[in-house]
Each structure stands twice: as C-alpha cells, then as structure tokens.
Structure 1
Amino acid sequence: MKSEFWEVPEGQIAAVVTHLQMFERPAPRPMGRVDATLVPHAAPDLDWYRDLFMRVGGQDWMWFSRLGMNDAELAAILHRDDVHIYSVQKDGRDEGMLELDFRVSGECELGYFGLTSAMVGTGAGRWLMEQALDLAWAQPISRFHVHTCTLDSPQALPFYVRSGFQAYARQIEVADDPRKAGVLPMDSAPQLPII
C-alpha cells in the first residue's frame, strides 16, 4: 500500500472533508428528555449570530468561514427565506445552533449544527438532530446532506453516520489559518498547532 504526503504551506491549515447524504427520513432514534427549546430566528442579528457561531465552533473546533465575512456577505445568506436559522435555548441562553439551507431546489444542506460545551453530553445533540430531520423532511426535498471535516469535533462524523447519513465523497481543504489571519483568537483550537 502506497501513501503520499503533501506540504501544507506555512500559515495555512488542511482538513479532510467528508460529504454525507440521505434520501429519506430515517426512523426516529430513542432519546431521553432534554431541557431545551429550539427557537427559530428569521433575519437574525449578525452580532448575535457571530457570538453563537464562535461559542459553538470557533473557539474549540476552528469554525471560521462565517466569521471572516463582512456584514453584507453574511446577511446575504442569513436573511434569505430559504435559509432557516435556529438556536437551542436553555435557561434563557442560546447554547446551540442549527442552520438548514434550502437554497438548492429539492435539497437541504445541514449548514451548521452544534452545541456549546455546556450542552455536550446532555443528550441535546441527538434531540437537535431529530429536530433537524423533522424540519428538513417536512419540506419538499429528496436529499438531505452535510459535510464535516477533521477540524471539527472527532464525534461529528460518527454522530452523522449514526443519525442516518451515508458518506459519499472525501476532499482535502487547504485554507489560510484563521488564527494567523485574525479571524479567530490565537488560542483557538489548541489541538491544531500554529505553523
């Protein structure tokens, strides 16, 4: 078996991206009671969204794509009728996010999905996925898809598979390190050294 290595230039990061999809709503998975509420946000405030995005994925998992957008770019996505934004609220505080993107006719992309560290391990992930599946398949779609990468939580990929998604493609993504670019704090994602 042969393997190859490719250099990642200084100041950049690389991730293996796995694309997953499903073509019908899987049977609901059993779960316990979760003390949280799913709240829709039509045309969400951009500062609110960036704060939640950062708390869910920026500090620990190097979510950065939305943080590098200016207000006009971000609003052009989030303020569309076919992009649905939800937060997971517990005790009056937003502790998770769900973004369903219906911009492609007949499809839904699970754009962003995650919880803050305060909710991890509480069963809220499974509950949130069941909410996502119900909301996505309530629309006239024939495909629901998502992608995750090695910069995300190592729990993400197996969680999506357990939820009924099947992997169908893999890519390598190379991007400027958002910490060096000033998009994320330098202490973000300490598991990935800055080179």
Structure 2
Amino acid sequence: MILPDGYSDVPHGKIAAVVTHLEMTAPPARRDDPPGTWSLRKVDTPPLPWYRDLFRRVGENWLWFSRARMNDAELAAIVHATGIEVYALVVDDRQEGLLELDFRQPGQCELVYFGVTAGLIGTGAARFLMNRALERAWSGEVRRVWVHTCTLDHPSAVAFYQRSGFRPFRRQIEIADDPRLDGTAPRDAAKHVPVIA
C-alpha cells in the first residue's frame, strides 16, 4: 500500500517510525579508531538473560522491542543460529555495547543490532564498534553489508552510518504496538516519543 501525501493517522496505542535502509557494496576506507580503552568480545551461544540485559540497556531508550517481545525459544532460534554472530563492547570489564551480525544470506551481512549504552554516546565508542563491525563483516565472501535505522533511534544515527560508508537505498514506515503500554519497555522509556494510549 502506498501512503498518500499529507498526514496519516496513527492509531492510539501505536508508535510509528520512518525506517531508512542503508548499504555498502565494497569495503569503505578505513577510519582510525578514536582514543579509548574499549575492546570487543565475541559471545558464542549467548546466554539469553545476558543477551536480554544488554539489548535492554543499549536499546530501551530507542524503543528496541522486537527481541524483548520474543519468548526464549524464539530468541534462541535467532541468536544461537549458525551464521549469527554476537559481540559485546567491553569497557573496564563491563559490557556496554551490542553488535549482532547476520551472515545467513550468502554474500551478505546485515548489521542487525548495533549500539552502545547511553553513557558512551559521543565518546568514540560507537566509532570503535563500527570499525570492528566492518572489519568482521567484510572478512569473508561478502558483496553487500546493510543496516537499517529509524526515527526512534538516536537523531545522529543516519549521519553516523553515512560517515561510516553506508548509503541509503530504501525508506519505509513501521507501525507497531507501543512497547511501553504492554510492559515490554518501562513507561518512561524514550521520552522523545510521547505515549498516546
């Protein structure tokens, strides 16, 4: 369905976001790491409580909800699948960033989840994490790396991805139940998105 020009109502109890898909079809020029004491840790067969905690701490303020709504079997089927790689950004022995790569489609890598906790935004940690993400994404037989972000995410997300070498190629509207109304996220999460019950 094509949305008409002008305003379209979003039902009460729902959230709406403009989703931008971005891709690269060749490895970008290498960008220097910013100064910092970060490291990356691969987490094979991530324990579900660990994954849920990091997912929540990184994404709750941006209303990341899809994995939070999954039961254990659904979540394990994804994060334990062959071709999925999960990494944590480590700072002072604390895990403060999430990177999830999906290599299940031949010749492609999707940055499924990418982010750092609120205290690390603006410190260079995300640049470090992106450098590692692109190194890993392009390390095999890959012809395309892609990611999507939306207007619920940090306002600089699209510009960050473009500086990293991605180019936008598709835009969509996503409408979903507001995760703050069913307890998936706290009622006070994502203060930049008003709750309309």
Range into which the TM-score falls when normalised by the shorter chain: over 0.9
User: Could you tell me the TM-score, scaled by structure 2's length?
Assistant: 0.95
Residue 192 of structure 1 corresponds to 193
Residue 87 of structure 1 corresponds to 88
Residue 180 of structure 2 corresponds to 179
**Secondary structure of 1:158's partner?**
helix
Deviation of 1:36 after TM superposition, in Å, equals 1.1
Deviation of 1:62 after TM superposition, in Å, equals 0.7
Matched ranges for 1:151-170 at <5 A: 151-170=152-171
Contact 2:15–2:176 (CA under 8 A) maintained in structure 1: yes
Q: Which residues of structure 1 form unaligned runs of 5+?
A: none
Residue 53 of structure 1 corresponds to 55
Q: Which residues of structure 2 form unaligned runs of 5+?
A: none
**Secondary structure of 1:97's partner?**
strand
Residue 36 of structure 2 corresponds to 34
Q: Deviations over 1:134-191 (max 9, x none)?
A: 0000021100000000011111110000000000010000000011121111111011
RMSD across aligned positions (CA) = 1.1
Distance 1:188 1:168 in 2: 30
- May I ask how many residue pairs the two structures share in their alignment? 193
**Is residue 2:114 matched to residue 1:106?**
no
Residue 75 of structure 1 corresponds to 76
Residue 14 of structure 2 corresponds to 12
Contact 2:58–2:115 (CA under 8 A) maintained in structure 1: yes
Distance 1:30 1:157 in 2: 20
Deviation of 1:76 after TM superposition, in Å, equals 0.2
Residue 119 of structure 2 corresponds to 118
Deviation of 1:3 after TM superposition, in Å, equals 4.2
User: Could you tell me the TM-score, scaled by structure 1's length?
Assistant: 0.96
